[in-house]
Structure 1
Amino acid sequence: MTKQSTLQKVRLVFILISVLSLLVAVWYLRQFVTKDSTLSMGSPIYKGEVQHRVLLLTSYNSQYYTFEPQVEGLREIFEPNGIEFDVMFMDAKKHGSSKDIETFHNYFVERVNIQRDYDGVLLADDEAVKFAMQYHEDIFHDIPIVFFGVNNMTLAQMAVERYEMYGFFENDYLVDTIELAIKLMPDKKVYYGIHDNSPAGLADRVLYNRVKNNHPEYEFKEINIATIPFEDLDTEIQKIPSDAVLIFMTCFTDSVKVVHSTNEMTNIIINNTDIPIMRNFSSGFSDGVLGSIGIDFTIQCKMAAKYMTDLLSGKSIKNDKLVVDTPHFSEFDYLMLQKYDIDEKKLPNDAVIFNRPLTFVDMYGNLFPTLGLIFLSMVSLLGAVYTTVLIGKETNNELRESKDELIKSQEKLKYQAEHDDFLDILNRRSAVDYLRENFTIKHVYSVLMIDIDNFKDVNETYGHQLADEILKYLALELEHMADARNWMIARYGGDEFLLMVPNEQLDENSNSIEEILNMFRTPIPVGDETIILSCSIGISVSDGATLPDQHIMNAEIAMYEAKVRGRNKAFKYADELKKKVREENKIKAKILDAFDNDGFYMVYQPQIDAKTKQVTGYEALVRIKAEGLYPNVFIPILETSGWIGRLGRVTTELVIKQLATWRDEGKKLHPVSINFSSNQIGDTGYVDFIKGLLSSYNISGEFVEIEITEGLFLERTDQAERLFEQFNELGIKLLMDDFGTGYSSLGYLTYIPVDYVKLDKSLVDGYLEDGKDSFIKDVIQLVHDIDKKVIVEGVEEKWQYEKLRAFSADIIQGYYFSKPLMPGDAIEFRADDK
C-alpha cells in the first residue's frame, strides 16, 4: 500500500468523523431549541365562544403597581375557560371623598347594567368592596361577587358574612419583614419606619409599633411624610444615622395630599441614604433596596379567578369563603446582600435573589456538548485538510509561487473592506470591530461622536461637489490630529465621525475637545466667500462596566443632546440621557395616540378690559387628555419631532368648532387667539385650512386671532409676509406674543402688521416694582403711540392689575382674574367681583 493511498484513507476517516460530529451537534442543538420552545409555551388558549363576562371593579387606576400582576393572574384562569372581563377604575386614591364616590356611583349606574351585561363581579382592594357593600341592593344584588386585595379584616368579614361575597384577605407582612431584618442584621439596633397618613400607612404604623413593643432592646423611630414639607423630605432622610435600618412602609401621600408614585418615593429614599432598606411590598425595587417580603398578587388573583370560575360553572366552593392565608414571596438584591455582608443562608428558603452575576457555566453550559462536537468536527476537518495538503504538496508548490501576489490582493481587498472609499479612513463596521478587538471594560478610554452642524445647508447652498471637498478637508484635519495622538478615527455616517481616545477620560472641558471644536470653527475660504462651520460632540467614557459597542451608542445619544442644547458644543453621556430618550419615546407614543384618538382638548383663559373689567376675548391653550402630560412637556417634543404643524391644525379646528358651539347655544362671542409656532411656517396649506373651517362652521374671521412670536416677524421672508397678508384678507388679527423675551426692540413695531402686543410675564415680574415700573409705563405708551394695543400676560396680584390699569394697559390676562378654563366655564366667566 502506497503512502498516498494510506493518506487518502486517513483523510476519508477524518472527513467521516467531521461530518458525523457535525450532524450530531446539529441534532443536539435542535433538541435543545425544541425543548426551550416547548418550555416557552403559555397556557392553552380557549378558542370556543365566550361563556361568561365578568366586571372587574378596582379601587385605583391602571397605573397602580398592583394592577398588572393582578390582571395577569386573572387572565391565566379566565382565558382558558372562555371568560372575558372588563375593567372599571374608581381612582379612589385621588378621588376618594364621599362626593367622589357618589359621582362615581352616578357614572356607574349610567354606564353599566350589571344584571344584563355581566355574570359576575370581581372587586379589587378595600374601596371597591365598600362601594359594592354601600350599593349592594341598588346594583349588586343576586350576582356572584369575589373580592381580593382587601387589607381590612373587619371589612372582609363583613363582606362575606352580611353580603354573601367570597374573598381573599391581603396581609402586608410588615411584621415578618421587620423580624427578618432583625434576624439578618442583629448588630443593627436602630430602626426607622417611614410612612404616610393614608389608612394603609397608619395601619402599617400600628404594626410597626407592635414590633417595637416586642423588642425593647431595639430603638424604633418614625418618619411620617405627611407631617413634613415634601421639599424637606430629602434633608429629613439624610439625618438617619448610618448604622440604622430603614423600613419602607406605605409612603406615598405627602403633607399637601399629593400622591407620589412608588418609583418616585423609592428614588427619593435611596438617593438620600446609604443604609439597608427593607419593604413589606414586592414593588419599588431599584438599586439601593435590600429586599422585602411581599404579597404575590398574581397567585392571589389566580385563586380569586378560580373561585369565580367555579361559581359561574355551578360548582360549590369547597374552601372557606374568606381566605386569609395570602400567597407571598420574598425578594432580595444580591448586590445589596454583598454590600451589607448578609449571609444568604439566613434568608427564607423561598427567597428569590436577583442581580446575581451569571457565571460562564450558567450562560453557556448547555452549549458545551454542541461546542465540543463542533470542535471535534473542526479538528477532524483540519486533519483532513492537512492530509490533503500532504497529498497535494506538489500542487501547493506551484501555488506558492503566486503567494506574494495573492497576499497583496488580499491586503488590498481587506483595506477596501475596512476603509471608507470617499474619505480613506476607517468605516463604521471596522471602527466597531476595532473597539471590540482592542478594548474591554477594564481599559480606560473615551469614545467621541462628532457631527457637523447644519451640513445639509452647505450642500443646498454650495452644491454637493463643494460640500464633498469640505468634508474631505475636515476629515483630513481630524486624521492629522488623530495620528499625532494615536487616536482611532472613522467615518460613522454621512457627516459623522467616530474618534476613540485611549488612556484618557475626556469631558466637555478637556483641551482635546476644545481643539476639535476650534478646528471646526476655523473659517474655510471658498472663492470670494468664507464658510464657518461648527460641530456637536458626544462623549462617552469607560466606566468599568459598559461594553465598547454601548459606548458608541452612548456617544451618539450625547451628541444629539449637544445639538438639542444649541449645537457648537460637546456633551458627556450620563445614564439620565438614556432615561430621557426612553421617556421621550413614551411621550411620543402618547402624542401619536392623542392625534389618532381625539386626545387633545382646549382650555380658554379670559382676557379682561383693564378699565371696564369686561371679558374682551380668550387665549386658547392646548391640553392633552393623557394623564401627567403638561404643555411644557409635550410641546417641545412636538416641536423637535416636526409634529407642531399637525397640532396647529388640530387646535385651530377645536377652537373654531367651539366658537360655533357657543354661537349655537346663544352665547355672545369674543375673539379667541390661537398660538402659531414659527415651525408652522412650512405648513403652506394652513391658510386654506383655516379658511375652509371658517366657511364650514360659518364663523367670521373677526373672532379668530393668531398669536405669533416676534422672531417670525423679524425674519421678514416672502413666505412669512404672504402669510400675514392672507390672515389680514380673512379678517384675522395678529398678536405679537412674548414681547420682552427675544429681541424686544420697539423700533420694528412700526412696520410689522400686528394689532396687539402681548407683554411677557417676565417683564411684569422684573420691572413692575418701585424704581423700575416707569419702564413698563413707557413701553405701554410707546405701543399706544404707534396705534397698537397692549395685552399684559402673567398678572397674578391685585396691585399689579391696579398699577397696569393706571399705566393705561388695554387688556389684562393672568391668574388674578382667572386661570385657563374649560369651555363652559370660560363663556360664563365674569370679572366684575374682582
Structure 2
Amino acid sequence: TEEIFCKKVVKLLKENPDTSYAFVYSDMENFRLIRDLFGENAANNILVYLAKVFNHFIGRDELCGRFDAGHFVLFLKYNKKELDRNLESAVKIINDFPINMTIKLGFGVYKIEDRNMPVQAMCARAVMAADAVRGKYGQHVAYYDKKVWEKQLHEQEIVNCMEDAVKEKQFKVYFQPKYELDSEMVAGAEALVRWQHPEKGFMSPAEFIPLFEKNGFITELDKFVWDTACGYIENWIKKGYHVVPISVNVSRADIYNPDFIEIMLGIVNRHGIAPEYIHLEITETAYTDNPAQIIDVVKKLKDIGFVIEMDDFGSGYSSLNMLNELPVDILKLDMGFVQGGIDENSSSILSFIIGLAKWMDYAVVAEGIETEEQIQILKDMDCNFVQGYYYAKPMPPDEFEAYMLKHNIPDNHQ
C-alpha cells in the first residue's frame, strides 16, 4: 500500500543520509484506452509486464510501488545519466509488449532536495513533472524544476481567485457565429467563456479550463455560461428578434452529475425559453468513460427538446460505434486534422464522415474554418454549417446581437 511504501522511503532516507535519491512517477497516458480496446485482461498483463521491467532497474535500497491504475512510483538512487538511460530503455522494452498499439509512457522525476519534506509532497512533485510530458510526442522524461514550480504556483493563483471571479463577474460570455454554408447566413452561435482578470488581464481559456476540469470547478463555470446564454436568448425574444440557437459546452463532469438534467431544465424554465434554443455540445471523449451513462442522459435531454451536438467528432477512437448508439442531432467536425491544407487522404476522411452523417440524418458543422479552400471543399461535400475565424471570431454579446440582426436577414447574401 501507499502507506507502507512511504514508511519504507522514510526509513531508507534515514539509513542512507549521504545517498542522493529521486522519485520517478510513471504515467501510461493511454492506459484507459488500452483497457477499453483490448479488455481488462490485456491491461492487467501490461501492468504485470511493466512491474517486471521496473523491478529490473531496482537495486539495493531502492523501491518500486504501484499507486493506482497505470501509475508506478520508483524511489531510486540519483544519477542523472544512468536514470535517463534506464528510462529510455524502459520505454523501448515496454513497447516490445505484444499489443497492436504504442504504449505511451512518460516519466516525472523529482530529485530529493529537502529530505524532511513529507513523502507524499515529494511524490506530488514527480507527478507534476510527469504532467509536463503528457501529450508531447517523442519526449518521455521531465524533471521537476523552477519552470514546473512556477507553473504550479501560477495554477494555484488561478484556483485561489476562481470563486471571487464568478462573484465579481470577471468571466464573460462571448459568441462565435455559426453559418449555414449554402446561404452564408448566421444560423447559430457557440457560447465561449473568457476571463477578464483585474490584475492578470485577459486570460486564455487554455490557461484555466483544464485546471477547472481537474478540480471540479468546471461545473460552476458551465452553469454560469448556460444561464448567461439563456438570459441573452430571453432578451432577444422579448425584443422580437429572429433568434438563432446557441451551443453551450457540457463537460464530462456535468454529464456525471446526477442533477444535470434538473439544472438544465431549471435554467431554461427560469428564462422562459424553449429547450431547442440550446444546443448541448458533448465531446466525443466523454463517451469513452462511461458509455451507458452518457447514452441514458443524452436520450433524456433529447426527449425534453434539447438539441445534441457531438463535439470534436473524429478525434477519438469510438466514433462509429458511438454514432450507432448515441441519439445526437448534429456532428461537429474538428478541422484540426486538415489545418495544414487538405490533401487527398484527409479529403477522403472528411468526405466519408460527412457522407455517413448525411446517411444517418445528422446535420454537420465544421469548426476551425480559416481558408477559402476549406469552404469550397466543404461546399462540394454538402456540409451544412461552418464556424471559424474565416467568417468571424468570438465576439462580445452586444456585437454579436448587431451581427446576428445584420446577417440573418433572409435576402441578405453576404
Report the TM-score when normalising by structure 2. Answer: 0.75
Write out per-residue CA displacement over residues 449-484 of structure 1, whole angstroms, 9 at most, x where no aligned residue: 447989xx9xxxxxxxxxxxxxxxx999989975xx
Name the CA distance, whole Å, in 2 between partners of 1:492 and 1:592: 35
Change (3 A) 1:554 1:572: farther
Write out per-residue CA displacement over residues 782-812 of structure 1, whole angstroms, 9 at most, x where no aligned residue: 3212111111112223343233223322112
Name the CA distance, whole Å, in 2 between partners of 1:493 and 1:801: 49
Change (3 A) 1:577 1:615: same
Moved over 6 A (4+): 451-454, 474-481, 490-496, 516-519, 533-536
Mark the structure with the bigger radius of gyration: 1
Name the CA distance, whole Å, in 2 between partners of 1:496 and 1:606: 46
2:185 maps to 614
1:561 maps to 129
CA contact (8 A) 2:173 2:193 kept: yes
Name the CA distance, whole Å, in 2 between partners of 1:744 and 1:476: 31
**1:499 partnered with 2:39:** no
1:731 maps to 305
2:336 maps to 762
Change (3 A) 1:432 1:663: farther
Name the CA distance, whole Å, in 2 between partners of 1:774 and 1:453: 32
State how 1:24-103 maps to structure 2 within 5 Å.
none
**1:448 partnered with 2:23:** yes
RMSD: 4.2
Name the CA distance, whole Å, in 2 between partners of 1:811 and 1:592: 36
Read off the aligned partner of 2:110 and give its amino acid letter: S
CA contact (8 A) 1:738 1:759 kept: yes
Structure 2 residue corresponding to 1:588, chosen from 154, 159, 164: 159
CA contact (8 A) 2:276 2:305 kept: yes
2:294 maps to 720
**1:598 partnered with 2:169:** yes
User: SS of the counterpart of 1:620?
Assistant: strand
- CA shift for structure 1 position 648: 1.9
Change (3 A) 1:490 1:515: closer
Structure 2 residue corresponding to 1:578, chosen from 142, 149, 156: 149
State how 1:538-687 maps to structure 2 within 5 Å.
538-541=108-111, 546=113, 548=115, 556-562=124-130, 565-566=133-134, 571-626=142-197, 627-687=201-261
Percent identity, aligned pairs only, is 23
CA contact (8 A) 2:174 2:394 kept: yes
User: SS of the counterpart of 1:438?
Assistant: coil
Name the CA distance, whole Å, in 2 between partners of 1:621 and 1:424: 45
CA contact (8 A) 2:54 2:90 kept: no
User: SS of the counterpart of 2:161?
Assistant: helix
User: SS of the counterpart of 2:151?
Assistant: helix
Write out per-residue CA displacement over residues 424-456 of structure 1, whole angstroms, 9 at most, x where no aligned residue: 995454345446x325xxxxx3412447989xx
- CA shift for structure 1 position 488: 4.3
Change (3 A) 1:565 1:687: farther
CA contact (8 A) 1:447 1:540 kept: yes
Change (3 A) 1:565 1:642: farther
Structure 2 residue corresponding to 1:438, chosen from 18, 29, 33: 18
User: SS of the counterpart of 1:674?
Assistant: strand
CA contact (8 A) 2:368 2:387 kept: yes
Write out per-residue CA displacement over residues 250-275 of structure 1, whole angstroms, 9 at most, x where no aligned residue: xxxxxxxxxxxxxxxxxxxxxxxxxx
- CA shift for structure 1 position 570: 5.2
Change (3 A) 1:755 1:424: closer
- CA shift for structure 1 position 609: 1.2
Write out per-residue CA displacement over residues 121-149 of structure 1, whole angstroms, 9 at most, x where no aligned residue: xxxxxxxxxxxxxxxxxxxxxxxxxxxxx
State how 1:12-411 maps to structure 2 within 5 Å.
none
CA contact (8 A) 2:132 2:142 kept: no
Name the CA distance, whole Å, in 1 between partners of 2:88 and 2:344: 47
- CA shift for structure 1 position 555: 5.8
CA contact (8 A) 2:338 2:346 kept: no
Write out per-residue CA displacement over residues 397-437 of structure 1, whole angstroms, 9 at most, x where no aligned residue: xxxxxxxxxxxxxxxxxxxxxxx9985995454345446x3
Name the CA distance, whole Å, in 2 between partners of 1:772 and 1:516: 31
Name the CA distance, whole Å, in 1 between partners of 2:349 and 2:105: 40
CA contact (8 A) 2:175 2:192 kept: yes
User: SS of the counterpart of 1:796?
Assistant: coil
Change (3 A) 1:421 1:658: closer
- CA shift for structure 1 position 638: 1.0
Structure 1, unaligned runs of 5 or more: 1-419, 440-444, 458-473, 524-532
1:803 maps to 377
User: SS of the counterpart of 1:601?
Assistant: strand
- CA shift for structure 1 position 578: 0.9
Name the CA distance, whole Å, in 1 between partners of 2:384 and 2:402: 22
- CA shift for structure 1 position 758: 1.2
Name the CA distance, whole Å, in 2 between partners of 1:813 and 1:797: 11
Write out per-residue CA displacement over residues 470-521 of structure 1, whole angstroms, 9 at most, x where no aligned residue: xxxx999989975xx333449899998662416x2257642268569979x9
Name the CA distance, whole Å, in 1 between partners of 2:76 and 2:202: 41
Change (3 A) 1:765 1:709: same
Name the CA distance, whole Å, in 1 between partners of 2:2 and 2:178: 63
Structure 2 residue corresponding to 1:818, chosen from 392, 401, 407: 392
Change (3 A) 1:558 1:799: same
- CA shift for structure 1 position 778: 4.0
User: SS of the counterpart of 1:510?
Assistant: helix
- CA shift for structure 1 position 757: 1.0
Structure 2, unaligned runs of 5 or more: 33-49
- CA shift for structure 1 position 716: 5.9
Name the CA distance, whole Å, in 1 between partners of 2:234 and 2:155: 36
Name the CA distance, whole Å, in 1 between partners of 2:27 and 2:338: 40
CA contact (8 A) 1:425 1:489 kept: no
CA contact (8 A) 2:23 2:126 kept: no
User: SS of the counterpart of 1:698?
Assistant: coil
Structure 1 residue corresponding to 2:326, chosen from 752, 757, 771: 752
CA contact (8 A) 1:536 1:559 kept: no
Number of positions where the alignment pairs a residue of Structure 1 with one of Structure 2: 375
- CA shift for structure 1 position 813: 1.1
Name the CA distance, whole Å, in 2 between partners of 1:487 and 1:797: 60
Change (3 A) 1:641 1:817: same
Name the CA distance, whole Å, in 2 between partners of 1:780 and 1:631: 29
